[in-house]
Amino acid sequence: MVITRPQIETALKTIIDPVTNEDYITSKALCDIQIKQNDVTVMIELGYPARSVLETIRQQVKQALQAIPGIGAISVRVDINIDAHSAQRSLKLLPGVKNIIAVASGKGGVGKSATAVNLALALAAEGATVGLLDADIYGPSQPQMLGVTDRPDSPDGKTIEPIRVHGIQMMSIGLLIDVETPMVWRGPMVTQALQQLLNDTRWQDLDYLVIDLPPGTGDIQLTLAQKIPVTGAVIVTTPQDIALLDARKGLKMFEKVGIPILGIVENMSLHTCSQCGHTEPIFGTGGGEKMCRDYNVELLGSLPLDIRIREHTDSGKPTVAAEPDSQISEIYRLIARRVAARISRLTKDNSAVFAQIIMEDD
Give me the sheet containing 30-36, strands edge to edge.
30-36, 39-46, 74-80
How do beta strands 232-237 and 100-104 pair? Answer: parallel
Concatenate the DSSP letters of all residues of 170-195 into one string.
Answer: EEEGGGTS-TT------HHHHHHHHH
AA identity, residue 19 = V
Residues whose CB is less than 8 angstroms from the CB of residue 59 and which lie 6 or more positions away in sequence, other chains included: none
**What number of other Cβ atoms are within 10 A of residue 273's Cβ?**
9
DSSP H helices, 232-326, are 241-256, 287-295, 307-314, 319-322
Domains located in the chain, CATH noted: 5-80 (3.30.300.130), 88-344 (3.40.50.300)
Most distant pair of Cα atoms in the chain: their distance:
84
User: How confident is the model at residue 183, as a pLDDT?
Assistant: 64
Can you say which residues are annotated as belonging to the binding site? 106-113
Per-residue pLDDT tens digits of the chain, which is 362 residues long: 788 899 999 999 999 998 988 999 998 899 999 999 889 999 999 999 999 999 999 999 999 999 999 999 999 999 999 999 988 777 888 999 999 999 988 777 788 999 999 999 999 999 999 999 998 888 788 999 999 988 899 888 889 999 999 999 999 988 887 766 666 667 678 788 888 889 999 999 999 999 998 877 677 777 777 788 999 999 998 888 777 888 888 888 888 888 899 999 998 887 877 778 778 877 777 778 888 888 899 999 999 988 999 999 999 999 999 999 999 999 999 999 999 999 998 888 766 554 444 545 54
Can you say which residues are annotated as belonging to the binding site for ATP? 106-113
β-bridge mates for residue 208, sequence order:
130
Which among 84, 103, 83, 81 is positioned nearest to 92, based on CA atoms?
84
Concatenate the DSSP letters of all residues of 317-358 into one string.
Answer: --HHHH-TTSHHHHHHHHHHHHHHHHHHTSPB--GGGSPPP-
User: How confident is the model at residue 133, as a pLDDT?
Assistant: 96
- DSSP-assigned letter for residue 38: T
User: How confident is the model at residue 102, as a pLDDT?
Assistant: 94
